[in-house]
Amino acid sequence: MGQEQKIASAPTTATDDKPLKKSGYHHGDLRAGLIEATRRLVEEKGPDGFSVSDACRLAGVSTAAPYKHFKDKTEMLVAMVLEGMQRHRAKMLASLEGLPEGSPDRVTALGREYVTFALEENGIFRLKFGGFSDRLDDPRLQAAGEETFGIVLREVAACIGESDVTPEVRRRGFMLWSFVHGLSFLLLDKKLSDMSGGVELDNLLSDIARRVLQD
């Protein structure tokens, strides 16, 4: 199950203000450098505090450089979120390694990874779920979200003995997602520090997983 940890508030994100190291910035290098600069600024200042000019300054490129890869500010933010979601999926899958197939422990591990991502990359997490004045409405984000949720649904199906994603699998998966999603925002907004009573995060996630899967 991993080391237990008590429910706590979101950590303060420290962002390095030093310009990113350039390596010529050819083709994909420039795009990757701008996405990383965007990520650092969003984590430091929040989505509404991000500007293209700041990203260019941090990446050490001209203000015209982003338009070789992105049509506007929103495109840069979408690219950053998509990359973050890809990292998130990779970590979710890695969290399942060594755990028995069809075990509720696998669902618990996914829940833990969801909360961890929300706390460690809270700028991306908030941006994905509407924490931006110009709400990101992009079909690629919807598709990426469904792909991530699909990992949960497959594990739920295995736990309850279903070979496919049935309506019942989706119902239980939605219950689990609703819980960890709400918990993540409560932690980010520091609403549980005095209310949790020292509850261990792993114990809580494990308890919820078993209750939903054995319903």
pLDDT digit string (tens) for 134-193?
556 778 888 999 999 999 999 999 999 999 999 999 999 999 999 999 999 988 887 766
Using left for φ > 0, alpha for ψ between -120 and 50, and beta otherwise, residue 26 falls in: beta
Predicted structure pTM score: 0.81
Residues of the domain holding 204: 74-213
Largest CA-CA distance found in the chain, in angstroms, rounded:
57
Name residues whose C-beta falls within 8 Å of residue 214's C-beta, 6 or more positions apart in sequence: none
Q: Which of 49, 46, 44, 35 is nearest to 77 (CA)?
A: 35
| 110 and 206 both lie in a single domain | yes
Higher pLDDT among residues 138 and 104, named by residue: 104
Residue 27: its pLDDT value, please?
47
41 located within any domain: yes
Give just the sign of the alpha carbon dihedral 152, 153, 158, 159.
positive
Per-residue pLDDT for 8 more than 70?
A: no
| 25 and 130 both lie in a single domain | no
| 151 and 191 both lie in a single domain | yes
| 207 and 114 both lie in a single domain | yes
| 117 and 165 both lie in a single domain | yes
| 45 and 91 both lie in a single domain | no
pLDDT digit string (tens) for 50-89?
889 999 999 888 889 888 889 888 899 999 999 999 999 9
Distance CA 75, CA 171 (A): 33
What DSSP element (H or E) covers 54? helix 52-59
| 96 and 187 both lie in a single domain | yes
Q: Report the percent of the chain where pLDDT is more than 70.
A: 80
153 located within any domain: yes
